[in-house]
Structure 1
Amino acid sequence: MSTVGSVLVIGGGTAGNGLTVLLRRAGIEVELVEAAADWNARTGSGLTLQGNALRVLREIGVWEQVRDRGFAFDTLGMTAPDGTVLRVMRDLRTGGEDLPATLGIGRPRLQRVLMEAVRDSGARVRLGTTVGSLDQGPDGVSVHFTDGGSGRYDLVVATDGLRSPTRELIGIPDRPQPTGMGIWRATAPRPEGVGRTDLTYGGPCWIAGYCPTGEDSLYAYLVEPARDPAALDPARHAEEMRTLAAGYGGVWKTIGEHLTDPERVHYTWFHRLLVEGPWHRGRVVLAGDAAHACPPTLAQGAAMSLEDVSVLAGLLTGPDAAESSLDTLLTAYRERRMPRVRRVVDASVRLGEWLMRGDRAADAPGLIGRTMAALSEEP
């Protein structure tokens, strides 16, 4: 029996949706609130999900749907800027041998799978609004929403992203810090023969890569020194990315031909965030990017968020939950997650720093191998 009977989840992304389903399965009343009126059903390009992320999606109950809508593979290619394949490596299956090493999927496709699972769970969903204020008491949290509504809950979980307004509302001072890298992302048709991620280090950008996301789709990305987003004209995003892509050979020539629609090209910075102190204040707790975030140099951002909600839900609904105070459970959640999350954040940032410095003596394969081996263990 859980120590909480009602939960408000703030943020309807991958982590918030997953947590909602896991808590509802245990019989907890859940309301999910999302600021975007369309539930972000059409937002974003693609995701690279490694085995430890797929393991949690299977726990949530959506693995088959995700598998059918994505593209699974077990190898990683390293290429020269001209497209010459230098090496093909077998990836570690961090989710276990019964799951692929990696799956690429369009972010909107994953979102729609999780949205359907939330609806099927019976959770209440409130779209187009968010939390305006929180008033905590000894036995609950009173919440007022920006649309004028209100509610009272035993627990509030903030999965509202890198710039979490809830993190600020509850007085946690940590803020994301840019790492000095910027990334161009776009979707495109999948060229014939592309069946894995290929990465190029060097050329016009620090990193050039692509990941198949379906039978007919992929997403491509180019990582360069961070530019001021305010100085970039959104109408020229496709032109900017196409110019960078022209510096690469192989299938990049085909990808570049499809970089024509600025609405399908996105530019963002890489950030680092790790909340060093407690992840909760009273009955409000952070999860996912609200608590930690890192550059996607290890492709572990979504996986770390999914692992967060798996651990949190397990503690809240596990056999010891009824005999433990909420503070004890939330403290245990952070203590269990922190070493693993710190390892991923630090390794992801270090890989980026080596690239920015052009450090040829850096042991990137060793760091990646050690990190991924550790992630093969259950979170």
Structure 2
Amino acid sequence: MTQPSDSASSPRRVLVIGAGTSGNAAAILLRRAGIDVDLVEVASDGNAAVGSGITLQGNALRVLRELGVWEQVRREGYAFDEVGITIPDGTVLHVQKDIRTGGDDLPATLGMQRPRLQQILLGAVRASGADLRLGVTAEALVQDPHGVTVDFSDGRTSRYDLVIAADGLNSRTRAAIGIAQKPEPTGMAIWRVAAPRPLQVTRTDLAYGGRCYIAGYCPTSESTLYAYLVEGCHHRTSLDPASYAARMRDLAAGYGGVWPQIAKSITDEAMVNYTWFDRLLVEGSWHRGRVVLVGDAAHACPPTLAQGAAMSLEDALVLAELLTSRETWDGQLLQEYYERRIARVRPVVDASVQLGQWQLDGVRDADVPGLIGRTLSPLKERP
């Protein structure tokens, strides 16, 4: 395995593969330090129209503030500090304060339309001066002791000091550098949809049980929310995308409260997203030579703790801090990045999977509040 090594006097140039949350964050932070950054994304629209909603915990908001986009996010999202637990008919059993993992000066949680967050981040990438190329993939990476030569699908070939692979759960780059680990299904799947926000929805409410394992929703703006229903996995070949809206309406019919209002708006199959829950945690290191993984390319877990975006953003922050504060970029630096992150990511991945497994196993006396508290409380510390 080649090990990166260079000096501060050498010109620094970085390629980021994937303009998702972690890739955008890495590009912004490295450009702020004066490093030349190319960012390539396979989606021609930069994924700016994909997804329904996203729940951002306080530690995610803390990184967004460091990126300089917090005020935009705050204006366009919907912040709240509580979570409600209901029974399937909509009756509220308990409302509790959520943990402010980003500190007392930030909300515990903010819901947002995922496409809008992506547009804000892409705007910040462009403003940073990074070279953003959409509809482009890295086709071949050739490493040597001094750098990486990359051939792109648009016919260009360029040379870099470091490549950051932020190309998601099914990362092609991860496989290309010889990391064999792949995401593994946990046995659950989630239906998601964006919908108008009933005025009484001012926080996340979760119903456990009924026709699904979880039925929940999160306000994403003054006028929108996203709703989700978690059930057991179906083989994708058994689900006709033309039936997605009807399937989600049928599942939603088992729930009361605001669910009948939500269900009426589920009419467009293209707006309904169906995804399996997966677990991934790359062990040992997140780099091979001069190529390093961030975000979902390195780790992923069910959204039961709503920490996926936060962990990805923190990856970008920690890696950028190391790269911009050290004279030498080498294997020791990249291993330090891994060791700092694995200690923080592993408990989140394990707890997120455990919360779902308890439901799959029908465990009724599980210490859910205790596990959530033990996992989230340490995240109040800066990564």
- Shift of residue 344, structure 1, vs aligned partner: 0.3
Q: 1:3 to 1:288 in 2, by over 3 A?
A: farther
Q: What is the aligned residue count?
A: 376
Cα shift readout 1:229-280 (whole Å, capped 9, x = no counterpart) = 1211111100000000000000001000101111110101000000012110
Give the match's secondary structure for 1:181: strand
CA distance in 2, matches of 1:4, 1:207: 51
Name the residue aligned to 2:3: none
- Shift of residue 147, structure 1, vs aligned partner: 2.2
1:360 aligns with 2:364: yes
Amino acid in the other structure paired with 2:300: A
1:275 aligns with 2:260: no
Q: Is the 2:304–2:352 contact (alpha carbons within 8 Å) kept by the matching residues of 1? A: yes
Question: Which of these residues, 144, 148, 154, is aligned with residue 155 of structure 2?
Answer: 148
Question: Which of these residues, 101, 105, 124, is aligned with residue 94 of structure 1?
Answer: 101
1:307 aligns with 2:311: no
1:11 aligns with 2:15: no
1:44 aligns with 2:48: no
1:172 aligns with 2:179: yes
Cα shift readout 1:202-240 (whole Å, capped 9, x = no counterpart) = 000000000000000000000000001121111110000
Cα shift readout 1:4-35 (whole Å, capped 9, x = no counterpart) = 71100000011101110000000000000000
TM-score normalised by the chain length of structure 1: 0.98
Name the residue aligned to 1:350: 354
- Shift of residue 325, structure 1, vs aligned partner: 4.1
Give the match's secondary structure for 2:200: coil
Q: Is the 1:4–1:155 contact (alpha carbons within 8 Å) kept by the matching residues of 2? A: no
Name the residue aligned to 1:54: 61
Dislocated runs of 4+, deviation >3 Å: 1-4
CA RMSD of aligned residues (A): 1.0
Q: Is the 1:344–1:371 contact (alpha carbons within 8 Å) kept by the matching residues of 2? A: yes
Q: Is the 1:177–1:273 contact (alpha carbons within 8 Å) kept by the matching residues of 2? A: yes
Q: Is the 2:323–2:329 contact (alpha carbons within 8 Å) kept by the matching residues of 1? A: no
Q: 1:293 to 1:304 in 2, by over 3 A?
A: same
Is 52-61 or 4-13 further displaced after alignment?
Answer: 4-13
1:122 aligns with 2:126: no
Name the residue aligned to 1:336: 340
Question: Which of these residues, 262, 273, 276, is aligned with residue 266 of structure 1?
Answer: 273
1:200-349 mapped onto 2 (5 Å cutoff) = 200-318=207-325, 321-322=326-327, 324-349=328-353
Amino acid in the other structure paired with 2:371: L
Amino acid in the other structure paired with 2:230: V
Amino acid in the other structure paired with 1:374: P
Q: 1:20 to 1:258 in 2, by over 3 A?
A: same
Name the residue aligned to 1:183: 190
CA distance in 2, matches of 1:2, 1:121: 22
1:26 aligns with 2:27: no
Name the residue aligned to 1:372: 376
CA distance in 1, matches of 2:302, 2:379: 17
CA distance in 1, matches of 2:258, 2:92: 11
1:194 aligns with 2:201: yes
CA distance in 1, matches of 2:285, 2:126: 32
Q: Is the 1:210–1:221 contact (alpha carbons within 8 Å) kept by the matching residues of 2? A: yes
CA distance in 1, matches of 2:201, 2:236: 31
CA distance in 2, matches of 1:135, 1:347: 38
Q: Is the 1:4–1:316 contact (alpha carbons within 8 Å) kept by the matching residues of 2? A: no
1:163 aligns with 2:178: no
Unpaired segments ≥5 residues, structure 1: none
CA distance in 1, matches of 2:252, 2:113: 21
Give % identity. Answer: 65
Amino acid in the other structure paired with 1:301: G
CA distance in 2, matches of 1:142, 1:3: 16
CA distance in 2, matches of 1:218, 1:113: 18
Q: 1:325 to 1:32 in 2, by over 3 A?
A: closer
Name the residue aligned to 2:5: none
